[in-house]
Each structure stands twice: as structure tokens, then as C-alpha cells.
Amino acid sequence: MASITVHYPHCNSDHVYRHRKTPAGHVRYRCPVCVHVFQLTYTYEARKPGVKDKIVDMAFNGSGVRDTARVLKIGINTVIRALKNSPQGKTTEKVVLDDVALICELDEQWAYVGNKQHRHWLWYAFDTKRKRVVAYTFGPRNDDTCRRLLSLLSPFQIGFITSDDWGSYAREVPSEMHLTGKIFTQRIERNNLTLRTRIKRLARKTICFSRSVELHEKVIGAFIERHHFN
């Protein structure tokens, strides 16, 4: 009689044994090393290992919620739930570079949330030398949000801060370290294009926009954390 060796996907152990069946008739296995129960076959696509990671990866590569649901053959609510249940994102880099005088470019970027009359703003700081986002926040396009972003930069050794001529920057950034002009924001403007290309909910002139503030901030925050904070 032919036999098939079963390995637990996470630890690759082959010391597994059968552990009853599911109501749908699929065999369960138990790994005594990890003390976990798992299956090799599933009735629902969303239960398969790796599907949750694919949902996040597709969100970071220009796919909307419905795009992801169609490709992975899972429900729309499953996609939304997986994105909402992602860990709470950090708003600054975990490594503080005390010995480096950063030159930071600041900018704000809008996107629709709920409807095209409601703009939601992403404010962030970009390290021109390392080409990385160092801090970000969400909020209205006003002085309070600008102050909140600047407070996130307080642990860093900032040499100069550059921005466009939006009034909040002139009022909140100390004048002795502030440079203004489009010529000083070329790198962060280029990064804005990357964000709009990689995250569909940030694209302009489209019917694809976020329906909830929570999901909007979760996806953008998770993208920045993965590609800039790690």
C-alpha cells in the first residue's frame, strides 16, 4: 500500500498524526512538536494557508478589494476583514538615527474616502538621503496636523526641513531650518507617484476609492511600515 508523508507547513515536521475529521469530511492532522492542528484540503478558499498574505500583497500592488476577491475567489467581506485585522501600524521609524543630520522633505497627499466630496489627507516626512519615509500621520490640511507630524520628527536629528509653499509649513516649521520651493520637494513628489501607483485607493480620476477611514489608513500605514520602516 502506498503511503504519503505529511509535513506540517510551519515547522516542516513529519511527526504528525491524524486527528479526527471536519464536519465537511476533510482529514485533520496534529503536529506534536508545535501542538497545532491543520488540514491539507479546505472547503473554503479563504481558509487555505497563505491566502491572508496574498490579500495584503495584492492591496500593495494596485488591487482593490473587489479585484482581490475575484482573483482569489473569496468573499469581499473576507478581504475587508483581513485588511482591518492587520496589526496597528507604527507612525515613525523604529531606528532613531541620533548621529545623522537628516534633510527631510514634507508633503501632504489627498485621496477620496466615502465620496468624492470628502478628501482625506496623508502627511509624511521623507528622508532625502536614504529615500525612506521616516514619519507619517493622517488628518485635515491644517496647522494641527502639521504640528502632529513635526512632533513625530522630534526624536530625529533634523538639519533642514523642505516643503512647498503651503501656509502651515511656514507657520509651524522654524524659519532657520526651513527651505521652501518645488525644487526642494522633487524626491517626495516622486514618492507620491509610487504610492498612487502601488495603492489603488490613492489613484486619482478613478471610481476606486476607500469607503471607510479605518481601512484607508490601515492599508496605507501597513504599506509604509513594510517598505520604509523595516
Reported as a single tens digit per residue, the pLDDT across 11-31 is: 767 777 777 777 767 777 788
Assign 175 to helix, strand or coil.
Answer: helix
Question: Do residues 47 and 74 lie in contact, with contact meaning Cβ atoms separated by under 8 Å?
Answer: no
Retrieve residue 122's grid coordinates.
496623508
Q: What per-residue confidence (pLDDT) applies to 156?
A: 86
| Planar angle of CA 192, 198, 201, nearest 5 degrees | 85
Over the stretch 149-191, which tens digit does the pLDDT of each residue have? Answer: 999 998 888 889 999 999 999 999 999 999 999 899 999 999 9
Band the pLDDT of 58: cuts 50, 70, 90: very high
Q: 40: pLDDT confidence band, cut at 50, 70 and 90?
A: low
Distances (CA, A) of 120 to 111, 140, 163, 205, 217: 5, 7, 19, 15, 9
SS3 content of the chain, % helix, strand, coil (to 5): 35, 25, 40
Average predicted confidence (pLDDT) for the chain? 86
137 in Cβ contact with 149 (< 8 Å): yes
| Residues contacting residue 31 through CB under 8 Å, at least 6 positions apart | 8, 10, 11, 13, 15, 16, 37, 38
CB-neighbour burial class of residue 12 (10 A; exposed 0-12, middle 13-18, buried 19+): exposed
Is the pLDDT score of 97 beyond 80?
no
Separation between Cα atoms, residue 229 and residue 95, nearest integer Å: 8
